[in-house]
Structure 1
Amino acid sequence: MPKIAFNKLYLTGREEKYISDALAKGSVSGDGYYTKKVSSFLEKTFNLNKVLMTTSGTHALEMASFLVGFEEGAEVIMPSFTFSSTANAVLKAGAKPVFAEIKANTFNLDPLDFENKITAKTKAVIPVHYGGISCEMQQIKKIARANNIYIIEDAAQAVNSFYQKKALGGIGDLGCYSFHGTKNFVSGEGGALIINSEDQSLIKKAEIMREKGTNRSQFLRGEIEKYNWVQAGSSYLPSDILMAFLLAQLEEIETITARREKIFHYYSQELRKFLEEDFLDAIPELPAAKKSNYHIYYLKFKNQRIRDFVLQELNLAGIKATFHFQPLHSSPMGKKLGYQKSDLPITEAAASSILRLPIYPDLSFSNLKYIIKSLKKIFKELKLVGG
């Protein structure tokens, strides 16, 4: 019986070479040679206005929240079906997270519930592109503009995903990427803040915030004679060693994506027919306007009991499958903010019934066939007992 990991680090073969080169250059702190190379790569590849590399996707979200500038009592609408970083960034910047429902077929923010949650205090919305599949950005953007609301895209899972041929992270006012070890393209820890506004004062403010509140970036460019502390900030710059690793990954972005795509479509080809059964509710769907990076492959079952049974059986078969986000609104912190489990029933139903399958570039075809064979065996048992 094989032991199949849920996720495995994929190495392109150039990571060590670039790290050694970074060490040889003698400068491994922030905004070094490789950091600049990565920023330029992302800007050119995805046609992004300005990319600032950060120490994590979490820090990119924090920077975006501080840049918007939330006054006391401000509210920010977001899905509850996301990682805690989305809400923590807002809280850290002094605003209140307002949790809205997701769409049952995508697990992305429901534009209608976003609109329903808008009040006079609403300052921003954070659409989270779940699994690398875009939110309904045209609708969200229309609602946000009509209500003078900032859009901060949480594109942590969506590097190399697109909506209407526009790179995710590059549609809202600000965007945030993650290069955490669990993502498609990794640096271990790392992220990026995308500034889509052409307002140069906003870019300048972000650079200063990222450089511990100093105007050091201007000094390094020769624009000023010395640098000083000019505003509040923090240390958001990643080491050039991490960016050397990331560049090696990004140079293989199409190869990595193509390998994931092949696995994604094989799963769908083999599993779509089970949607006719009374135990399986949904698999990922890709509308024509949305190009995915194939970050996640999930199965949504009719209820938690079935999901937990399938998860248990897969693990017994040596296949490491897993569930995903626990809703923020019904977490201990969410309850402190005044939410109850019953507030978002679609979110709760999704969180309790979703199961994620292994998907990574080095997943062999023999292991992939074994996963499908194991699922079919489990599904046969479910059919025999009526789900």
Structure 2
Amino acid sequence: MNGNFDRSFSTEDVLRRRASLLQKLHIDGWLLLILLTLAAASLFILYSASGKHWEMLTKQAGSFGLGLLAMFVIAQLEPRFMARWVPLAYIGGVGLLLAVELAGHTAMGATRWINLGGGIRFQPSEFMKIIMPATIAWYLSKRSLPPKLKHIVVTLLLIGIPFVLILLQPDLGTSLLVMASGAFVLFMAGLQWRWIIGAVGALGPICVGMWFFVLREYQQKRILTFLDPESDPLGSGWNIIQSKAAIGSGGVWGKGWLQGTQSHLDFLPESHTDFIIAVLGEEFGMVGICLLLIVYLLLIARGLVITAQAQTLFGKLLAGGLTMTFFVYVFVNIGMVSGLLPVVGVPLPFISYGGTSLVTLLSSFGILMSIHTHRKWIAQV
């Protein structure tokens, strides 16, 4: 009896000490476990989606390592310290977007990157996915809530400047995600329903205006293809048709790892980036996709728990904005690959190949960890 009790007590003591160590390192154990699971899944799927491309795999692993380091460093910073630097970060982010517009690197008809030399380049618009909700959370946390009309106007202006600059690159998908990240914070700040209903009512005229004056021809074609993919099966409809064929051919259990035909025979374009979930569906079937969705749901649920437990208004608004933006990120990618949404060029979080996106996502979860693990010591911002 005593021996069993001692062993049980010893096990509980070890678990308690491990939890205490993570707390001292400002790391949330559940978030870390889920993120490492997604990292392993990404490398596993990417190896097949890239056609066994080891160089691409090592680059992705390096990006994960860099992102985890950034996450760890950011988690050490107190939210009130980060709040002080938010305005400067916003100015710097807008400055980088202007630099892209003036002297950015052009590839595949879009100017979205800044070259650092030596083959290294990064996409400044990705950083705005963090900077935008942080800026709106910083601004609204210093005002009385629900926000008044003048505060809503300033918020929309803060959102609109990066939105337009990213749209001009052109990058419709990222611009919409950046806009959504700011809009979520505004909504969580207690935006009155009359403003929400008014915004929904204005969507019609706004969409018409964007169709005629903002969207480029290839973007209009993507929307028309979404409505009727068979209208141009060998052109703009090719991606969606092949994607749905890959997912459908996987059935319930899939064809098996490295056994996919749509990606390995080059029928499926961008199989290692935007359409990587089609590779997952073909090789691991509905079961594989459902398992990935469960991991995503656990990550989102943990983010919402951290949001609910945040002790400051700034932390609550920022954590909620980052979590809901991540949800939209997942929803838009899966929606466009399965034909439920137009193709807007949004990668699948943590699974698609891409260094800047990966580091940005992990940095955002570093902020969530900071908000959660510093909550006993921070004062109201």
- TM-score over 0.5 for the pair: no
Structure holding more helix per residue: 2
Structure number with higher relative contact order (C-alpha < 8 Å, ≥ 6 residues apart): 2
Which TM-score applies when normalising by structure 1? Answer: 0.31
Which TM-score applies when normalising by structure 2? Answer: 0.31
